[in-house]
């Protein structure tokens, strides 16, 4: 017989999971409800479910082009963050240079600067370089991540330095140590950074809204915002677009959740 604490713990877990799942379930149900509305609140019973909202969505927007834009921008951003983050993490964790602590502290301080503060300077920079309304303008601000550097640096710091010393005795330099020893051992942390980077880029709305004007460069969050009308909104179509946007992220997370848990546990971040 389970004791009272076990029952209470599992009750809290189930309740928390239900709270997290209800919005997603409500989104799916609204998307298949004829003339779905948010006014009536969530319901588990759908009369005459239909996929008409999904057909209207595909007619209203070039969803495959928009999704492809979001995917390749997110994939490229993730790749750049893994490369720049891992190299910077190795430098901060293993290389000795004057002012390393100060530089790392200033780098981490950028985490406290919200994106809203950076929008205007970034836009002026893109306009000066004549890069606004291009794929490069979407990608440029996300090629590096202070959070990624911090997490990967923690992972590198947790590795025994004896491995580096043994490789150095065998004649390996920093590049070989980095590529053949450090990177394979911090794969869980790399997977964690990759998932967070992909999700952040996939869900980004403010920066694309500011820098993009042409429909051919539109990303998913920006495209879904055009579905809301000035006076009325077809919420079933909006929710169909939300489902379209959520599914790839859910699949990525389901496949990578083991690596995320291992990466967070490996780096000691609570």
**Which residue would you say has higher pLDDT here, 83 or 114?**
83
Token couple for 80: 């750049």
Query: Given this model, what pLDDT does residue 270 score?
Result: 44
Output the pTM of the full model: 0.82
Residues of the chain with CATH 1.10.3720.10: 62-267
Query: E-assigned strands of 51-114?
Result: none
Q: How far is CA 36 from the centre of its chain?
A: 29
Least confident stretch, 19-23, 47-51, 240-244: 47-51
The mean of the pLDDT values for the chain is 83
Domain 62-267 has CATH 3.40.50.280: no
Percent of the chain predicted with pLDDT > 70:
88
**Which residue would you say has higher pLDDT here, 194 or 248?**
194
Flag whether pLDDT at 73 surpasses 90: yes
The neighbour count for residue 69, using CB atoms within 10 Å, is: 22
* Rounded mean pLDDT, 201-229: 86
Least confident stretch, 30-44, 130-144, 191-205, 255-269: 255-269
Token couple for 137: 């303008």
Least confident stretch, 31-35, 100-104, 189-193: 31-35
Taking Cα atoms as reference points, which of 85, 119, 42 lies closest to residue 267?
85
- Highest mean pLDDT: which of 23-27, 31-35, 138-142? 138-142
Token couple for 259: 């690596």
Flag whether pLDDT at 47 surpasses 80: no
Distance CA 118, CA 135 (A): 19
For residues 139 and 145, is the Cβ–Cβ distance under 8 A? no
Flag whether pLDDT at 203 surpasses 70: yes
Confidence category of residue 86, pLDDT binned at 50, 70, 90: very high
For residues 27 and 239, is the Cβ–Cβ distance under 8 A? yes
Flag whether pLDDT at 229 surpasses 50: yes
Flag whether pLDDT at 232 surpasses 70: no
Flag whether pLDDT at 140 surpasses 60: yes
């Amino acid at each position: 017989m389970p004791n009272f604490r076990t029952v209470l713990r599992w009750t809290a877990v189930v309740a928390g999971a239900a709270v997290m799942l209800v919005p997603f379930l409500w989104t799916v149900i609204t998307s298949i409800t004829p003339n779905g509305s948010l006014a009536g609140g969530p319901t588990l019973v759908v009369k005459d479910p239909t996929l008409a909202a999904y057909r209207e969505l595909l007619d209203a927007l070039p969803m495959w082009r928009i999704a492809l834009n979001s995917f390749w921008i997110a994939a490229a951003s993730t790749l750049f963050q893994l490369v720049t983050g891992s190299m910077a993490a190795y430098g901060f964790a293993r290389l000795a240079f004057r002012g390393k602590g100060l530089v790392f502290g200033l780098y981490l301080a950028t985490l406290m600067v919200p994106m809203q503060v950076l929008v205007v300077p970034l836009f002026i920079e893109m306009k000066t370089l004549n890069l606004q309304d291009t794929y490069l303008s979407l990608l440029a601000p996300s090629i590096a991540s202070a959070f990624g550097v911090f997490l990967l640096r923690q992972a590198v710091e947790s590795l025994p330095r004896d491995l580096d010393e043994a490789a150095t005795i065998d004649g390996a330099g920093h590049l070989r140590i980095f590529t053949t020893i450090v990177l394979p051992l911090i794969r869980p942390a790399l997977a964690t950074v990759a998932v967070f980077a992909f999700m952040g880029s996939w869900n980004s709305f403010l920066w694309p809204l500011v820098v993009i004007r042409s429909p051919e460069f539109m990303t998913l969050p920006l495209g879904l915002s055009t579905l809301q009308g000035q006076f009325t909104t077809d919420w079933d179509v909006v929710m169909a677009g939300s489902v379209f946007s959520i599914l790839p992220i859910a699949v990525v997370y389901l496949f990578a959740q083991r690596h995320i848990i291992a990466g967070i546990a490996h780096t000691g971040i609570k």
